[in-house]
Chains A and B, each alone.
Chain A
């Protein structure tokens, strides 16, 4: 009864088919931590796909989570478009000064060509290395920033909101360019060995734009984009709420949603049941201060709310666990999943949540 009888791939596949696997699958996206394991600066680490692959492998050996992340840093996409990336040693590389200074500059943009860009080729190499090592046992996840959310880095958040409200023709032009890149980038990752793609679409969250604007913009873009990606896609909102748009998101063709701590996980699960896998929603910022007992409580609570019936992957609510979160907290989370995540979740009916 206590033995884990499935591989990670089987576990995640079963959960995403809305059935109960042997235990709740979990993912600790700790990409940056691999640099520390390897004794490299973050810049040097991401320059070496083989080091990142080794780092991912070691982190999985340490924490035992159920997927490998074929992802380096989100700003790699803006780097591909010719933008600046700022590396730092205490956090993820960030996009620098936005390079689209005026809506009219959109007319002069050209989508990047993946085969010409070392920064993207390194990510594809990482995915290949992970896939070679993981075989069919552990899924490798790829990642794209949605065409609708990438402009935050391309032109800055304020300018993008103004574009969205006041320059709809230029907005449409930018979406077409970004969609071409996004589709090609996602499919290249699938071809390299990624089993699924995480579609990071924070701007579509009702935290950022109202639902009626989403339906005219981010929803349409996601529907067009996901239809052309040749594999499973799950949508994340980088800590933003999604409860108010779950029915819409389900119509974009996605198979899962990332849940925020700002939403009640039980409500999200009820809205998604049987059609979308729920991923979330541990608070990766507050996690820095958790004790082992608090980690266990949070894990139990999340499993009680979203675990029954499958269709749930326990993870953080943003997509990157900060370096400042101690390993002991992540080990406590992993232990709590193994303790409380075994199906059937008989204890849940007596849980107070």
Chain B
């Protein structure tokens, strides 16, 4: 079934999210249910908000609060373990060596609000993360970092994963990657997301490539 989400509806949703108008967002989501339609409403709107953040037109607090609101409301429609969430390769997200978890939460909220199921490992170090990834059979791993040394450690993570036979897709994001556009390649990542909504597009592409 093809989702029919008009431009006017997308604009309305964007406005409601940026204004943190929970009632209006809930009404728009309810009208768009089932999931396939919710996805066609939320994903483009979160992409627009992400692009506007990149251009300096909206702020990170708006990105975070709108993603959080979407996630909460989608969870009320679709419980976290609902079988009708998207069927995707096992995937997870983690923050490397860092207590600043906002970046991770931004991506996690946007992904879940878009119907993806993924494991949130929270703050981890390389050794712990490799064990978790191996045990869970993760195929797509999203890494969020804040500091340059943590970003550079992604290279060590890649080596440790390969040494354990974990040949997965590694997607990275966070400030050091935004300020040095070549860094993601240098550390051996497969892709880089500038914004939380970029992560949706990148993961969607990786899922398509995997099938």
Q: Is A239 an interface residue (CB 8 A)?
A: yes
Nearest opposing residue in chain A for B175, CB measure: A239
CA A97 to CA B99, docked complex, whole Å: 6
Tally chain B residues at the interface, Cβ within 8 Å: 29
Q: Mark A319-353, 1 if CB is under 8 A from B, else 0.
A: 00010100000000000000000000000000000
The reply to whether A206 and B100 contact each other, CB–CB distance below 8 Å, is: no
Q: How far in angstroms is the closest Cβ of chain B from A167?
A: 13
Given known A161-B65, A209-B61, contact A156–B99 (CB-CB < 8 A): yes
Q: Mark B94-132, 1 if CB is under 8 A from A, else 0.
A: 000111111001000000000000000000000000000
The reply to whether A241 and B56 contact each other, CB–CB distance below 8 Å, is: yes
Residues of A within 8 A of B100 (CB): 94, 152, 156-157
Q: Is B20 an interface residue (CB 8 A)?
A: yes
Q: Mark A66-102, 1 if CB is under 8 A from B, else 0.
A: 0000000000000000000010101110111110000
Given known A91-B147, A207-B56, contact A289–B182 (CB-CB < 8 A): yes
Interface residue stretch chosen among A45-53, A187-195, A280-288 = A280-288
Q: Which of B70-113 contact A (CB under 8 A)?
A: 97-102, 105
CA A196 to CA B97, docked complex, whole Å: 33
Nearest opposing residue in chain B for A284, CB measure: B179
Q: Is A6 an interface residue (CB 8 A)?
A: no
Q: Is A164 an interface residue (CB 8 A)?
A: yes
Given known A95-B99, A285-B148, contact A161–B180 (CB-CB < 8 A): no
Residues of A within 8 A of B65 (CB): 161, 165
Q: Mark A287-307, 1 if CB is under 8 A from B, else 0.
A: 011000000000000000000
The reply to whether A244 and B148 contact each other, CB–CB distance below 8 Å, is: no
The reply to whether A285 and B58 contact each other, CB–CB distance below 8 Å, is: no
For the residues of B in contact with A, the DSSP-based class is helix
Q: Is B15 an interface residue (CB 8 A)?
A: no
Q: How far in angstroms is the closest Cβ of chain A from B189?
A: 16
Given known A91-B147, A161-B64, A241-B56, contact A288–B105 (CB-CB < 8 A): no
CA A324 to CA B147, docked complex, whole Å: 12
Q: Mark B166-200, 1 if CB is under 8 A from A, else 0.
A: 00000000011001111100000000000000000
Name A262's contact: one of B20, B56, B97, B101 (CB within 8 Å). Answer: B56
Residues in chain A within 8 A of chain B (CB atoms): 86, 88, 90-92, 94-98, 152, 156-158, 161, 164-165, 206-210, 213, 239, 241, 243-244, 261-263, 283-286, 288-289, 322, 324
Residues in chain B within 8 A of chain A (CB atoms): 20, 53, 56, 58-62, 64-65, 97-102, 105, 147-150, 152, 175-176, 179-183
30 inter-chain pairs at a CB distance below 8 angstroms, sorted by A residue, are A86-B99, A88-B97, A91-B150, A94-B98, A94-B99, A94-B100, A94-B147, A95-B99, A98-B99, A156-B99, A156-B100, A156-B101, A157-B102, A158-B64, A158-B101, A158-B102, A161-B64, A161-B65, A206-B59, A239-B175, A239-B179, A243-B56, A262-B56, A263-B56, A283-B179, A284-B179, A285-B180, A285-B183, A286-B180, A288-B180
6 new A-B contacts, CB < 8 A, other than A207-B59, A283-B180, are: A86-B99, A94-B99, A156-B100, A158-B64, A161-B65, A285-B180
